[in-house]
Amino acid sequence: MIFTPVAPGRWTTFAGPEWNNPGGGLWGGYAIGLAVRVLEAEPEARGEALSLTLAYAAALPAGDLDVRTRRIRQGGSIGFWEVELLPAESDQVGVHAIVTMARRPVVPAFAFAKMPEVPAPESLPSPAMPTGVTHYAATALEWRTVEGFPPKPGANSRSLAWVRSPRAPLDKALLGMITDNSPPRAVYALGATVMTTSLTLTVYLHATAAEVAEVGNDFVLVDYEGRVGGGGASDERSSYWTRDGKLLATSEQLAWYRPRAPQPSEQPPK
């Protein structure tokens, strides 16, 4: 992700077609990474990304993008920023993000959450990728499935997987991208009969940038769970753990789902 500044609070970047969703438009996780990265380049931003809430207003096409950054408020330790992602030379905002930036003080740490007990990633097979798959960042992440993949209808929405980036060591932008890389939970209830799209996603990056960097190229355990769906909306929450049990991040997502339109081959005979 390379940003070219064109004016204060105004940037351009290029997103390749390999980051597209299967149905078109850029993968939502890529937008998370863009929001983190541009504020790392923003000269007035202080500290590091602590949380992000993104609204996916419209699909962003691959290609040239305009990026807007605006400081909402800056305190001594905490700052609030707005990031907007748009198609180049357009006024139509595709993704809107509110990002909390923070200087992370040294304070006593505590943890109530406990990492699930799972097999080591080295003991699990690497799933075979379908031939010709290049979309949705399919080649960006390496997976080791523990349970719940591939998704199928049932009484349990939980899934567990080890995930890592073979391209680069983990950092906050990559960690943010991983938080939008799971099958929609509606599929675990209704199967392939539904289509879904993200409405909002909130990411809490609990670990500091230094703690995330300590992970390096190792795997991160991702624990996904959905709770409820109805009236077109369904939820998902997830947790992201290091191998030694440190909670790096959590997320909450709201998705919109609807019946999938029958394909021509599925139409009943007349």
How does pLDDT run across 177-201, given as a tens digit for each residue?
999 988 889 999 999 889 888 999 9
Give 98's strand partners: 53, 82
Answer yes or no: are the C-beta atoms of 235 and 228 closer than 8 Å: yes
* Mean pLDDT value of segment 230-252: 96
- So what's the pLDDT on residue 155? 87
Question: In this structure, are residues 260 and 236 in contact, taking their beta carbons and an 8 Å threshold?
Answer: no
For residue 139, name the pLDDT band (cuts at 50, 70, 90).
Answer: low
Bond preceding residue 150 cis, omega within 30 of 0: yes
Torsion of CA 64, 82, 41, 20, to 10 degrees: -30
Residue 22 near residue 195 (C-beta atoms within 8 A) = no
Q: What is the pLDDT of residue 181?
A: 83
Cα(31)–Cα(256) distance, integer angstroms: 18
Q: pTM score, two decimals? A: 0.90
pLDDT at 264: 58
For 64-72, what is the mean pLDDT?
Answer: 97
Share of the chain above pLDDT 70, in %: 92
Does the pLDDT value for residue 132 go beyond 90?
no
pLDDT of residue 151: 86
Percent of the chain whose pLDDT exceeds 90: 74
Q: Say if residues 146 and 118 touch (Cβ distance below 8 Å).
A: yes
Q: Choose the weakest-confidence range: 31-40, 74-83, 188-197, 224-233.
A: 188-197
> Left if phi > 0, otherwise alpha if psi is -120 to 50, otherwise beta: which for 245?
left
Which residues, in sequence order, are bridge partners of residue 262?
none
Question: Across all residues in the chain, what is the average pLDDT?
Answer: 90
CA dihedral 41, 47, 48, 49 (to 10 degrees): -100
What band does 131 get if pLDDT is binned at 50, 70 and 90?
low
